Amino acid sequence: MEAMKSIVNPLSSICFVCILLLFANAASAKTHYHDFVIQATPVKRLCKTHNSITVNGQFPGPTLEVNNGDTLVVNVVNRARYNVTIHWHGVRQMRTAWSDGPEFITQCPIRPGKSYTYRFTIQGQEGTLWWHAHSSWLRATVYGALIIHPKQGENYPFPKPKRETPVLLGEWWDTNPIDVVRRATRTGAAPNVSDAYTINGQPGDLYKCSKQDTTIVHMDSGETNLLRVINAGLNQQLFFTVANHKLTVVGADANYVKPFTTSVLMLGPGQTTDVLIKADQTPSRYYMAARAYASAQGAPFDNTTTTAILEYKTASCSSNCAKTKPVSPSLPAYNDTATATAFTRKFRSPRKVEVPTEIDENLFITVGLGLENCPRGARSRNCQGPNGTRFAASMNNVSFVLPSNFSLLQAHHQGIPGVFSTDFPAVPPVKFNYTGNVSRSLWQPIRGTKLYKLKYGATVQVVLQGTGIFTAENHPIHLHGYDFYIIAEGFGNFNPKTDTSKFNLVNPPLRNTASLPVNGWTVIRFVADNPGVWIMHCHLDVHITWGLAMAFLVENGVSELESLESPPVDFPVC
């Protein structure tokens, strides 16, 4: 009996401690309430003032800071003249797909004069994410950082930096960006490229009328700063660097990575990268700069360079530095695919991870551009693509069409017929030399709203295969509602017989947006443990406008905790 007591008592103590820890974690989690007012605000850039759509009159919008485990409740009031939604890019949204935000995918848009409250909990994520409009091209100016700190009492897996600075890279049009995309949609031609890139909303002193408002980041000599770099641009992958300074990468897409040091970052739109920078140079001013990684041969792009200034705050520098011209950085060539590839291949998880190995669903998805023949009876002014066509884009030759009367999630949840089908093909309808010269007969995709159904808990592998239809380029592919392991990437056509030997099943990085190499392939894996409808699309907005997207329909599991929550009472109606 005494022996039994000696066994039971320690077990009771352990259980009691576990219960206390659970209560402590629950008690430390907070609920953060925010109001987002979407409104037109005068914003002056490049010598001209535009009535830009903003959140709370701010451009970029407010930075939200939470801890892992916290809940966000954001009431969005639309006082603009456009429909709007807000997407919380990279947030897992476990069972809360109603708050994910892509227009006509998980919700109908918030109409002018209406409001909607997004409610969701951050679960097991730490690092840098961001939020942005997911309607038309409103995210040109409607975006901001979402910073997730560790739970209270927990630490970063690296020495805590002295300060932290969000660095939001963006694109600026010297006109209304909604007019730009509407004109392109009407004509079928490619939209005008941006007029400037920005760092924290400012183009920097290489642009006209911009010098005095250039973003300045201060650092004390010897201190370490955590730069949270976000590519919030619409249509352009970007190289980023800081003159004379090394950057130690410690996180990406709100996941920690095995640290590595580099002099240049490459981020596709949607991607975030956390880097440590040490003020270990001569006290002075140093340019932070970003410019295009333009992988599509012959395609027009914005070839300007945005700058901010890293300024040392020391006695020797304070009086003289303001007059000193910043040290110029060295940036890769616009088409430097070797540098972009070398960077993306350095990412690893910090330790061994549980990668799905028994695969239930194996998909092979071609990704790329195409051209639609001019519709019968259409005027030539509506077919201004190459040789009288209209630009299109597709996955597995299906050009994705958004519904207009219901969101896909609403149609799924309520059993509304005719809104979508579940016959998205698991493989391309025709096999061809994907990265070679592609027959013109394969250039025209079919249009449709096709989903791919997954059972709850299914293990999924997707081979994303770039194509050379019309032009090959690097595509940032973003999957909503999930992080995924990037287990391999390469150039040319994926070969299942030889390329599987390249799979990293030990410590691949966990991301929400993958850079699909130009004329190459990427393999991702995830477990379908989040019920709902989740769009996977190219994060170049011009491409999603042309239909470069598909969506997964993930069914409910058996228990309530494996099932989609009910829609909120204030859910927008179409």
- pLDDT tens profile 493-528: 999 999 999 999 999 999 999 999 999 999 999 999
Domain-terminating residue out of 121, 156, 191 = 156
Instruction: Answer whether residue 387 is part of any domain.
Output: yes
Confidence category of residue 311, pLDDT binned at 50, 70, 90: very high
Domain total for the chain?
A: 3
Question: CA 76, CA 35: separation in Å to the nearest integer?
Answer: 6
Rg, the chain, Cα only: 24
Segment holding 317, helix H or strand E: helix 315-318
Q: Which two tokens stand for residue 114?
A: 């209406």
Average pLDDT over residues 188-198: 96
Same domain, 179 and 152: no
404 part of a folded domain? yes
Range of the domain at 315: 158-346
Q: What's the rounded Cα separation, in Å, for the pair 538 and 461? A: 18
Report the mean per-residue pLDDT for the chain: 93
134 and 269 Cβ atoms separated by less than 8 Å: no
In a domain, 356, yes or no: no
* Cα–Cα nearest to 195, from 183, 210, 214, 211: 210
The neighbouring-strand residues paired with 427 are none
In which element (H, E) is residue 459 found? strand 459-466
Instruction: Mark whether 209 and 286 lie in a shared domain.
Output: yes
Query: How much of the chain exceeds pLDDT 90, in percent?
Result: 90
- At 318, the pLDDT band (50, 70, 90 cuts) reads low
Tell me whether residue 351 is in a domain: no
Considering the domain architecture, whether residues 175 and 152 belong to the same structural domain is answered as: no
Supply the pLDDT for residue 26.
56
Q: Locate 376 and state its tokens.
A: 């019968």
If asked whether residues 393 and 316 sit together in one domain, one would say: no
- Percentage of the chain modeled with pLDDT above 70: 94
Question: Residues 220, 76: one domain?
Answer: no
We report the CATH number of the domain holding residue 165 as: 2.60.40.420
Regarding beta strands 265-267 and 237-242, do their DSSP bridges make them parallel or antiparallel, or are they unpaired?
A: antiparallel
Residue 3 backbone dihedrals phi, psi, to 5 degrees = -60, -40
